[in-house]
Structure formats: structure tokens, C-alpha cells
Amino acid sequence: MTCVPTRDADVLKVTDSTSSPALLPQELIDKMIDELRGSRPELKACSMVSHAWRPRAMYHLVSHFMLNLSRHANKSREVVRSSSRFTRFSSPPPSLASLVTVMELRCVRRFCHLQDVMSHLRVYPNLRELLLKDAHFSNFSRSKIRTLSKTLNRFPPPPLCYLRMEDVCFSDCDQFLSFIGMSHFREVSAIDLYNVVYGPTRTRAFDRGDFSRLVIKHCPDPSSNTPSFTMSLEQREGYKSAGYPGMDFKPIKKKRSILFGGRP
């Protein structure tokens, strides 16, 4: 047996020498493994049983990948790129990358780190959900956000359909809408905001009129080439931000009738 590096521990890989148990229907095997999805030790054991057991066990083991840069939040790009954590994220074995459907990015606070991690999402062909937590976009200038957008335009976007942002601060309404309107979010049909604010920090208290959590959905238009959540500068001309992302979606709803928000 050999070892394949995954999120926090190694997963034993089945080899040709692994003995095969009595054959069971694949549907039954999958249901048995699904019952163990909350226990990594049991899932690792299932991945060693046979080739028929391995795919489902591996799916539960690696379908959710978390990259936490809390220890490297203020370090240089070179230091982050050389870390084992980033290496596992940026260069996963293709057989494992195809199993990842949920990506969680934490403490991405420097622009160089944001650019690197967003550019590498393309290596996950079945990525459906993205969670950004504890990110300070308000530290990035508008020119850097434009640079990021141009960089991402060079790569095929992942098949994301859900974006969640938690404890994230943007400098203003324009930066917020510019970010969620990037090409990588073209197919997103739901955005979940939790403690997302405008300003230099995320520590301010929410006003009574604010929503601490807001879920925004829309029905994609397959005939349009415009990113789903983009509002052009012309459409927003003369609009004054209400001071909080949730409130700024109200005029968008009136103008385009594709978004709605409210308390979950």
C-alpha cells in the first residue's frame, strides 16, 4: 500500500495486492460507506477494502478541502507557496482533485495570496461551492481587484454554483459588486453573506436595519454572457451606497429583478 497526502492526514491507497471481499451490489456498498461519512478512521479503512469500496470512501474523505492560511497570513508569497499546506492545495493528484466539490479558504488577507489561491481553483474540475472566511478585501485597492479580475479571465472558471462569504470586509459597494461579478462566479446561483461589511475592519456592530446574514439567489439566464451578479457602472450611476452589502441589493432587485435577500 502507498500513501496519498490529503487534507490533514494520509489516506492509504489500494494496490493490486489488496484482497477483495465477497462481491456486494455497488449501491449497497455506497450506502454502507455513507453511514460512516462522519468518521475519518472508518472511511480510511473502507478505502483499503477494495477498488469497489474506494471511490465512495475517498469522496467523503476529500470532497471538502480547507486551506487555512492563519499561520501565514502576513508572510511573503514565497513562504506561503513553499508550505506543505499550499502545495497540497495547488498541486493535488488529479484523481483526488476531481473529488473535491467544496473549497474553504480562510485568512486570505494579502493580495498576493488571494491571487494565488483564486488562480488555482481551476485545478478542481468539479468544484461547486466556495467559502471565503476572514478576508480583508478592504485592504486592496480598486486597481488590484481589476488586476485579479484580468488574471482570472485567463483561466477557465470552475463550475461554482454557490458562494459563501463569512467575516469579510470590503472597502465599498463598488468593490463588493466588482468582486462577485468576476468571471469565476459566472455560474453562481446563490450567494450567502454572513458578517460581511464595508470598512477597514469586520469588528463593528451591526445596525438594527442590517442583516447579519443574507442569502441572495437568482435564476441564471443561459442566453446572457454577463456574469450573473454584475451591475455595470452605468446602471449604478448616481446610486449612493446604503452602507451595508445587504441594503445595497435592494436597488439591484428593483432594476434587474433577479436577486432577492432576507433573513434565513
Condensed to tens digits (0 to 9), the pLDDT of residues 96-119 reads 888 899 999 998 888 888 999 999
Paired residues of 162 in beta bridges: 129, 190
pLDDT of residue 132: 93
| pLDDT tens, residue by residue, 209-244 | 344 666 666 555 566 655 445 443 334 445 555 555
- Pick the range with the lowest mean pLDDT from 14-18, 93-97, 130-134, 145-149: 14-18
This model's pTM is above 0.75: no
CA dihedral 77, 82, 1, 47 (to 10 degrees): -20
245 or 181: which leads in pLDDT: 181
Q: Can you give the length of the chain in residues? A: 264
Using CA atoms, how far residue 225 sits from 127, 179, 217, 233, in Å, is: 21, 17, 18, 17
Using CA atoms, how far residue 231 sits from 15, 138, 211, 247, in Å, is: 52, 19, 21, 15
Distance of CA 229 to the CA centre of its chain: 16
pLDDT of residue 209: 37
Q: Which of 69-78, 168-177, 194-203 has the highest mean pLDDT?
A: 168-177
Distance CA 223, CA 50 (A): 45
> What residue type is assigned to position 22 of the chain?
A
Strand bridging mode 190-198 / 213-217: antiparallel
